[in-house]
Amino acid sequence: MVEWSVVSMAVAFVILVSVAIVVLITVRNTVLQAYVTILQLQRDTAALGREVSVFVQDAQKTAAIVKRQVDAFEPFCDSIRETGETLRYVTSSVSSVTEALTSSAVSHVNRAHTNNIERIGDMFDWMDLGLGLWEKWQAVRLANAESRAAKPNESKEGS
């Protein structure tokens, strides 16, 4: 029986060593695959780093170009703003001048209207006076004519 025990221990030891060898081979293969994967990841990371570096450089160049264009466009915007301010000032000045001219024209028209009313009033007064004199003169003339007309009749009657 001891023999069977030794044989069974030897068989168990061989199985144990075989299983350990298989496990070690599997672990070795897994470690090798992990190593290959890590190497591939390292290469991919390096390539990605180079691509990101190129992208960042391109982005910096683009940002510099955009900054130059914005800097070049800024004086144009400033001139547009200044033009707007000038137009607002001119519009305000034109409005002030227009108001002054309108006020002056209205006062001139009102003065002219008042003067014309006074002149027309004077003219009507003179016309009234003239018509009154005309009527008086006509009345006197008519009276003279009637008296002359009556005188020749009187002389004919008295003769």
Q: What is the mean pLDDT of residues 88-93?
A: 90
What predicted TM-score, i.e. pTM, was given to this entire model? 0.40
Provide the 3-class DSSP secondary structure of residue 93: helix
pLDDT surpassing 80 at residue 59: yes
- The C-alpha atoms of residue 42 and residue 48 are separated, in whole angstroms, by 10
Question: 154 pLDDT band (50/70/90 cuts)?
Answer: low
The torsion defined by the Cα of 83, 88, 91 and 92, in degrees rounded to 10, comes to -140
Q: Which tokens is 73 given? A: 């466009």
Q: What percent of the chain has pLDDT over 70?
A: 95
Q: Which tokens is 86 given? A: 């000038």
- Cα dist from 108 to 10, 89, 112, 113, 120, whole Å: 137, 28, 6, 8, 18
Between residues 57 and 120, the one the model is more confident about: 57
Q: Which tokens is 101 given? A: 């001219």
- The C-alpha atoms of residue 22 and residue 14 are separated, in whole angstroms, by 12
